[in-house]
A and B are shown apart, each in its own frame.
Chain A
Amino acid sequence: DAKTTQPPSMDCAEGRAANLPCNHSTISGNEYVYWYRQIHSQGPQYIIHGLKNNETNEMASLIITEDRKSSTLILPHATLRDTAVYYCIVMAGANNLFFGTGTRLTVIP
């Protein structure tokens, strides 16, 4: 059973904010939301994670709805180097990372 649902692809203009949605309607109370990305020919890279509160770091912001059934990853000023597949993953601590199908984000000049 898929734990997360993401759109298969999205485009974003360079310099604009990229908003990547993720649905996780069956998330449990102890499960975190993680975002990873995979740039072509590289291994996946951790971006951000959160439990209930919104989170921000140097790469992105994570907005989690109050009911925790969905979240949005925001890249505030997308660049061409942000073109990648973005994976939204829900998991409890001490478990292992299982990837879903992800969203292929293309940043357009």
Chain B
Amino acid sequence: DTEVTQTPKHLVMGMTNKKSLKCEQHMGHRAMYWYKQKAKKPPELMFVYSYEKLSINESVPSRFSPECPNSSLLNLHLHALQPEDSALYLCASSPQKGRAEKLFFGSGTQLSVL
């Protein structure tokens, strides 16, 4: 099983809503990542978790709040988002941090903020 599963696939939310994105992997990977991708742009790294601890926060606004409750699960909690936060949010995992040849991505959650 080399799959990273993201739910939901699509999400529409208002600027006052609170929602969460979920990412799951069962490959035994100990590093998990959130990327944000705007249309026709490359993915941008947001957060890195290593052994369930936040390792890197790439200066992401506090309206995005990551959580790694266990080694298989990664959440991204969203609150008071802006329309410019509309994007594809990609989750990825690798056996350890930095193993780019073993980095697996999910298909993403397409988020629209109204």
Name A residues whose Cβ lies closer than 8 Å to a Cβ of B: 32, 34, 38, 41-46, 49, 85, 87, 89, 91, 93-102
Query: Which of B45, B98, B103 interacts with A46 by CB under 8 Å?
Result: B103
Q: Is the CB of B97 within 8 A of A96?
A: yes
- In the bound assembly, the distance between CA atoms of A99 and B105 in angstroms comes to 13
How extensive is the interface on chain B, given as a class? Answer: 20 to 34
With both beta carbons as reference points, the residue of chain A lying nearest to B31 in the complex is identified as: A96
With A99-B42, A102-B42: A43-B92 Cβ-Cβ less than 8 Å: yes
Closest Cβ of chain B to A39, distance in Å, is: 10
With both beta carbons as reference points, the residue of chain B lying nearest to A43 in the complex is identified as: B105
Closest Cβ of chain A to B27, distance in Å, is: 14
A-B pairs with beta carbons under 8 A, tally: 53
Q: Is the CB of A97 within 8 A of B42?
A: no
Q: Interface residues of A: mostly helix, strand, loop or mixed?
A: loop
List the A side residues contacting B33 at CB < 8 Å. Answer: 96
- In the bound assembly, the distance between CA atoms of A38 and B90 in angstroms comes to 12
What per-residue 1/0 map shows which CB atoms of B32-45 lie under 8 Å from chain A?
A: 01000000011111
List the B side residues contacting A87 at CB < 8 Å. Answer: 42
What per-residue 1/0 map shows which CB atoms of B80-100 lie under 8 Å from chain A?
A: 000000000010100011101
